Amino acid sequence: MNTDQNQPIPYAVFENDIQFPILDITHPLFNASIDEQAYHLSCLKSARSIESLKKMPGFIQNIFVKMSNVDDFYLSGMRTLLYKLGPDLSRGIKLGFRDKWAVKQTSFMGLRIRLRDLCRRQSKLLQTQLKQFPERNLCFFNIAGGAATDSINTLILIQESDSELLKGRKIEINILDIDTYGPNFAKRCIDVLKQPGERFHGLDITLNIIHYNWSQPEALLKMSLERSGWIQLCSSEGGLFEYGSDSDIIENLNHFFTNSPADARVTGSLIFDRANVNPGYLGFTEFIGVQIRYLGPEGLQRIVTQTSWVLEEFHEIDTIYILFSLKKA
């Protein structure tokens, strides 16, 4: 593992010509931003912290809510990206006081752990298929994908493990999202990473942005059919399974199932159910007004039984996040 914290950081241009780092989970500064023991201790203490906050005067509570930077009851794709970068990789960005404060908070370390672990799982799944089928192209469908950090970093992990697996085949990242800021930045990241001297130089990678409302998932049918011979992975990190209704999740799973190949996979993240989720996380999200789903493994299993998918694997992160993969029955 590369431990050189002076390793160059590639940048892409965001809105208004702002230079924004391209998130690479193999960068030493990203790894240095994760202290799993500190995160675990923070999770244990968070319940007491939120109860103390609730006892404070109203004006202090309002300041805390504003500093939490919730956008319309959820974290936007670009703000989530900022917190995934962590304090070191984001050091060169000109930030307001609230973001400077938030990016240093141990509680947001969970977003980095979630991203890292999901990318590792996706990389492992895809490497098996890429080795078995060198003639097939590769396609990602990233629902509510924002800046597509999980798709991009899954490719980075595959390339680091065996760079030959990505050569000589078409690769697509399709971001299905109602947001435009995150996907547009992701497109600029791919453009930079394909330049000479960068990670994806010489690879045939295309990033497509599809305006997508997960309550109207018909686009998945058509896109999956058009790539019927491809290796297909449908993912949603911090999206559909954390905010969507049961019916939305079922419809998206069923639409993707219809035309996807027999070895297609679905991956994503969800939150523990209310009875078992970390009390501090529950108190925090309710306090700041995040309208999140506490789906839990039983909720996911209930939904999956109404589809033709089966649960393949799941992985818990500190009684907050659950990462999972689904395969066809």
Q: What is the pLDDT of residues 73-106, one digit of tens each?
A: 445 668 789 889 999 998 878 777 767 777 888 8
- The span from the CA of 141 to the CA of 258, in Å, is 14
Domain extent listing, the chain: 11-70+84-110, 111-328
- The span from the CA of 42 to the CA of 290, in Å, is 20
pTM for this prediction: 0.90
142-158 mean pLDDT: 97
Lowest mean pLDDT among 111-125, 206-220, 273-287, 291-305: 273-287
Average pLDDT value over all residues in the chain: 89
- Residue 279 is predicted with a pLDDT of 85
pLDDT digits (tens, 9 = 90+) for 174-191: 999 999 999 999 999 999
The owner of tokens 């959820």 is 74
CB contact burial 174-200 (16+ within 10 A = b; e otherwise) = bbbbebebbbbbbbbbbeebbeeeebb
Question: Could you say which DSSP state residue 201 is in?
Answer: T
Is CATH 1.20.120.80 correct for 111-328?
A: no
Distances in whole angstroms, Cα of residue 302 to Cα of each of 241, 247, 270, 290: 13, 12, 14, 24
- The span from the CA of 230 to the CA of 224, in Å, is 9
- The span from the CA of 269 to the CA of 294, in Å, is 11
Question: Could you say which DSSP state residue 169 is in?
Answer: S
CA atoms within 13 A on the CB side of 111: 23
- The span from the CA of 79 to the CA of 82, in Å, is 5
- Residue 120 is predicted with a pLDDT of 98
Residue 106: name the closest of 51, 40, 49 by CA: 40
Residue 33: name the closest of 75, 68, 85 by CA: 85
β partners of residue 206: 172
- Residue 45 is predicted with a pLDDT of 80
18 confidence band (pLDDT: 50, 70, 90): confident
Long-range contacts of 157-164 (CB under 8 A, 24+ apart): 157/25, 157/26, 157/119, 157/120, 157/123, 158/123, 158/126, 158/127, 158/130, 159/199, 159/200, 160/26, 161/123, 161/127, 162/127, 162/131
Provide, rounded to the nearest whole percent, the portion of the chain with pLDDT above 90: 70
- The span from the CA of 14 to the CA of 6, in Å, is 23
- Residue 95 is predicted with a pLDDT of 76
309 confidence band (pLDDT: 50, 70, 90): very high
Cα torsion at 291, 143, 39, 23 (round to 10°)?
Answer: -130
Report angle CA 311, 317, 321 to the nearest 5 degrees. 65
Burial degree of 67 (CB within 10 A; 0-12, 13-18, 19+):
middle
